Amino acid sequence: GENVEQHPSTLSVQEGDSAVIKCTYSDSASNYFPWYKQELGKRPQLIIDIRSNVGEKKDQRIAVTLNKTAKHFSLHITETQPEDSAVYFCAAWGAGSYQLTFGKGTKLSVIP
């Protein structure tokens, strides 16, 4: 089955700096890669996603890049703000599997 590795597990940045979270996946047939943000005590919510036919996608301060050859994808947050502090999860959808496999999460702390 699919295996998703996520790094780092914790990340502290100064407000205004950029944050990068990286994930690798094992199943070359995976074709959908969402990122979820989970604030303390809340449900995970989608912040951005990318499909295997696209190399990069951007939404305001958030961007995701995908390298299918290397089987890794990354989340980039620019001009971080305190409200970006949360746990971020990457995930991969295995083709034909009806399942998202999640990484173990990255706790991002943005220091004012």
Partner 1 sequence: DTAVSQTPKYLVTQMGNDKSIKCEQNLGHDTMYWYKQDSKKFLKIMFSYNNKELIINETVPNRFSPKSPDKAHLNLHINSLELGDSAVYFCASSQDANEQFFGPGTRLTVL
Q: Which residues bind partner 1 (CB under 8 A)?
A: 31-32, 34, 38, 42-46, 49, 87, 89, 93, 95, 98-102, 104-105, 107
Q: To which residue do tokens 């301060």 refer?
A: 61
Nearer of residues 73 and 89 to partner 1, judged by Cβ = 89
Nearer of residues 16 and 51 to partner 1, judged by Cβ = 51
Nearer of residues 84 and 105 to partner 1, judged by Cβ = 105
Q: Report the nearest approach of partner 1 to the CB of residue 5 (Å).
A: 13
Contact, 72 vs 22, CB < 8 A? yes
Q: Report the nearest approach of partner 1 to the CB of residue 37 (Å).
A: 11
**What CA dihedral angle connects 11, 13, 19 and 20, to 10 degrees?**
-30
